[in-house]
């Protein structure tokens, strides 16, 4: 896959160069915003800046006549091969937390003045920044071009930042040949707490002739698709394993472990599906995802796994384990709904969930002996999949980049869990079929003996 993406990028770059890529030069415009001169053939030029940057929010900052000479300068030029730590998007630069604004969250603005030289017949377009914490609006000479989210109010609803394409007027035919491009960005408090380099634009926007910009836009969507394709496939596989578990339950209705396992797997599948829906579509905003995933679904999934292992290991003592799982799910849901102020309660509830699963496993191995050992890999892999925050606290690497595409620790763990559980369930189905065959043979033998007598 990495080689395929590399060939695509090389082919596109070669085509653009042959069509006439001309380099952009950078100059400072004082006292107005930074002036980046861009000479366009059939090319796409990243607007690395330097940009003028300021924290805070003021609608006047979209006005090209505003004096931003007192703002700080920010260069968005990436280091060679730099990529983000999630899906492997190239061109990544650290955000404002790593640029002298630690612990700041809220609104901020980027401004740059561009002067474009291109043939008069060219239709120009801007590709939006591919990675921004958490949302942005873009203005050209004070006029709103578009946005990744409708930014309004002190805490706006945030949708995922997706590849975007904004057609532009013919800047190169204007008197003076320059225009003011401004980005108003927003980052929430939760994002600020997630990493130490969050904040603002991480991958610079680019300007170019429409055909070249469209080609880059399609390539960005391809990278975006491959970055989250595993999140789309795993829910299907988890539901398929849940269906097999229900088949086993149909033959062994006295063993409720298979019913609880199906519920836990479907819950995990829904958790991964929300990841895909958030990044690939705008059906859900971050508040909706928080409510559905972290408040409603994640606590129930942890409780379902506690009940799965309790039934599978047949641990009946202490008898209050089901009630404890239900209470913990309620506490975790309430603390998640309360937000960061209840982080201690969130951590405590998750740790008790973890302790319950460890205890059940220990008690089950003591009671069942060797018969419990085949279940141990599933339990251990499940702990990796369900307790990502706790593994992060232990500084266990959370993501790897095989073939240049980011795959998380949770994705690897769920893939392993799918394999192990499939083997266990099909092994159980084979045992059931063998038992039915033996019973059928015994029944036939008994009927034959009765007939002879």
Q: What pLDDT does residue 23 have?
A: 33
Q: Measuring CA to CA, which residue among 40, 4, 75 is closest to residue 219? A: 4
Does 263 score more than 70 pLDDT?
yes
Q: What pLDDT does residue 400 have?
A: 77
> pLDDT tens digits for 418-433?
999 999 999 999 988 8
CA distance 191 to 168: 31
Query: Between vectors from CA 182 to CA 178 and to CA 186, what angle results, nearest 5°?
Result: 170
Place 177 in a pLDDT band, splitting at 50, 70 and 90: low
Does 193 score more than 80 pLDDT?
yes
Q: For the residues 110-117, what does the mean pLDDT come to?
A: 91
> pLDDT tens digits for 67-113?
999 999 999 999 998 988 888 888 999 999 999 999 999 999 999 99
Give 198's DSSP letter.
-
Q: What pLDDT does residue 245 have?
A: 96
Does 24 score more than 90 pLDDT?
no
Which region among 95-104, 272-281, 296-305 has the lowest average model confidence (pLDDT)? 272-281
Q: For the residues 266-271, what does the mean pLDDT come to?
A: 95
Does 293 score more than 50 pLDDT?
yes
Q: What pLDDT does residue 194 have?
A: 84
Place 286 in a pLDDT band, splitting at 50, 70 and 90: confident
Q: How far is CA 437 from CA 149, 211, 252, 424, 431, in A?
A: 61, 67, 16, 20, 10
Average pLDDT over the chain reads: 85
Q: What pLDDT does residue 121 have?
A: 78
Paired tokens of 308: 């799965």
Q: Measuring CA to CA, which residue among 173, 183, 74 is closest to residue 118? A: 173
Q: For the residues 259-287, what does the mean pLDDT come to?
A: 92
> pLDDT tens digits for 208-226?
999 999 999 999 999 888 8
Paired tokens of 7: 């060939």
- pTM of this prediction exceeds 0.75: yes
Place 5 in a pLDDT band, splitting at 50, 70 and 90: very low
Place 324 in a pLDDT band, splitting at 50, 70 and 90: very high
Residue carrying the six token digits 């088949």: 247
Does 401 score more than 80 pLDDT?
no
Query: By percentage, how much of the chain surpasses pLDDT 70?
Result: 85
129, with CB counted inside 10 A (0-12, 13-18, 19+), is: buried
Most confident of 4-8, 144-148, 170-174, 281-285: 144-148
Give the length of the chain: 453
Q: What pLDDT does residue 31 have?
A: 38
> pLDDT tens digits for 135-151?
999 999 999 999 999 89
Which region among 132-141, 259-268, 376-385, 386-395 has the lowest average model confidence (pLDDT)? 386-395
Give 97's DSSP letter.
G
Does 13 score more than 50 pLDDT?
no
8: left (phi over 0), alpha (psi -120 to 50) or beta: alpha
350's CB contacts (< 8 A; 6+ apart) are 302, 332, 387, 389, 390
Q: What pLDDT does residue 169 have?
A: 85
Query: In Å, how far from its chain's centre is CA 408?
Result: 9
134's CB contacts (< 8 A; 6+ apart) are 149, 158, 161, 186, 187, 188, 191, 286
Does 451 score more than 60 pLDDT?
no
**CATH number of the 2-219 domain:** 2.60.120.260
């Amino acid at each position: 896959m990495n080689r395929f993406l590399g060939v695509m990028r090389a082919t596109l770059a070669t085509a653009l160069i042959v069509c006439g890529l001309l380099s952009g030069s950078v100059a400072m415009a004082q006292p107005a915003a930074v002036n980046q001169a861009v000479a366009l053939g059939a090319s796409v030029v990243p607007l690395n800046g330097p940009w003028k940057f300021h924290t805070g929010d003021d609608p006047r900052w979209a006005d090209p006549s505003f004096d931003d000479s007192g703002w700080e300068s920010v260069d968005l030029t990436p280091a060679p091969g730099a990529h983000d730590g999630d899906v492997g998007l190239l061109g990544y630069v650290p955000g404002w937390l790593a640029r002298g604004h630690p612990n700041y969250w809220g609104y901020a603005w980027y401004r740059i003045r561009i002067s474009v030289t291109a043939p008069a017949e060219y239709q120009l377009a801007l590709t939006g920044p591919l990675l921004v914490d958490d949302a942005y609006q873009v203005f050209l000479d004070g006029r709103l071009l578009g946005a990744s989210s409708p930014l309004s109010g002190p805490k706006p609803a945030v949708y995922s930042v997706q590849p975007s394409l904004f057609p532009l007027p013919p800047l190169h035919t204007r008197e003076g040949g320059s225009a003011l491009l401004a980005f108003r960005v927003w980052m929430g408090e939760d994002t600020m707490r997630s990493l130490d380099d969050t904040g603002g634009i991480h991958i610079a926007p680019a300007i170019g002739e429409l055909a070249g910009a469209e080609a880059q836009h399609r390539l960005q969507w391809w990278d975006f698709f491959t970055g989250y394709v595993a999140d789309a496939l795993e829910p299907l596989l988890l539901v398929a394993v849940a269906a097999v578990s229900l088949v086993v339950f149909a033959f062994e209705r006295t063993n409720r472990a298979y019913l609880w396992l199906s519920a836990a797997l479907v819950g995990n599948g829904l958790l991964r599906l929300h990841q895909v829906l958030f990044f690939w579509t705008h059906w859900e905003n971050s508040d909706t995802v928080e409510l559905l995933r972290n408040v409603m679904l994640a606590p129930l999934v942890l409780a379902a796994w506690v009940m799965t292992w309790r039934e599978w290991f047949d641990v009946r003592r202490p008898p209050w384990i089901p009630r404890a799982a239900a209470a913990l799910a309620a506490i975790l849901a309430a603390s998640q709904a309360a937000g960061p102020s209840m982080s201690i309660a969130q951590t405590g509830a998750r740790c008790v969930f973890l302790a319950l699963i460890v205890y059940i496993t220990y008690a089950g191995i003591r009671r069942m002996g060797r018969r419990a050992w085949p279940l141990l890999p599933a339990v251990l892999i499940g702990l990796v999949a369900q307790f990502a925050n706790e593994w992060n606290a232990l500084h266990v690497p959370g993501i790897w980049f095989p073939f240049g595409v980011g795959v998380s620790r949770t994705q690897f763990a769920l893939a392993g869990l799918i394999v192990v559980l499939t083997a266990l369930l099909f092994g159980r189905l084979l045992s059931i079929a063998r038992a039915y065959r033996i019973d059928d043979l015994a029944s036939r033998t008994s009927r034959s003996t009765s007939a002879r007598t």
